[in-house]
Amino acid sequence: MTKSRLFFLSVFFIAAVSVFAGTEYKDLCRGILYAVKPVDAIGQLNQTTFQNIRRYALGLPVEGQDPLNENDQRLMMFLYACEATRRTKSADDFSLYLQSEQELLTKHIKEGDNLSIKMEGWLDLFKLNLMFAN
């Protein structure tokens, strides 16, 4: 190989790695948000991965990562908050949390906010999982 080919291949490799490195968290979050069962998908994350996506989902810059769009960020933070509460609270306290979140969403649902409607569906899934866990 000539030096110019070697240089070209090196630059191409670095560019390819940079492109793919910038989507790791985005792909993970979007994979959860748009999964058939997002409540189950986020619940299956180990604690380390779960904590790692927190900063990214908050919209804080993570080195080399493309940010989520505004809607996905809002959905991910809602789903993250629900799952974090489920992991840290008793079943009774989590049930109360779900009820309070439901009440907060009611106004937005009446206004026709599509994201709130999706969130309400997730709350129902969390409630079903809670009922069947006992």
Angle between helix 24-33 and 47-57 (nearest 10): 100
CA 97, chain centre distance (Å): 19
Q: Using pLDDT thresholds of 50, 70 and 90, give the confidence band for residue 3.
A: low
Number of domains composing the chain: 1
Residues 33, 49: Cα–Cα separation, whole Å: 15
Q: For the CA atoms of the chain, what is the radius of gyration?
A: 19
- The answer to whether the CB of 83 falls within 8 A of the CB of 89 is no
Nearest-CA neighbor of 59 among 44, 49, 70? 70
What is the band of 56 on the pLDDT scale with cuts at 50, 70, 90? confident
Q: Is the pLDDT of residue 20 over 60?
A: no
Nearest one of 98, 133, 104, 128 to 116, comparing CA atoms = 104
> What span, in angstroms and rounded, lies between the C-alpha atoms of 38 and 4?
48
More confident residue, 49 or 82: 82
pLDDT for the residue 59: 77
3-class state of residue 132 by DSSP: helix
- Kindly state the average pLDDT of the residues 104-119: 92
Q: What is the pLDDT of residue 57?
A: 85
Domain that holds residue 14: 3-133
What confidence tens digit (pLDDT) does each residue in 57-74 have?
Answer: 887 767 777 888 999 999
> Token match 């604690």: residue?
47
pLDDT the model gives residue 39:
96
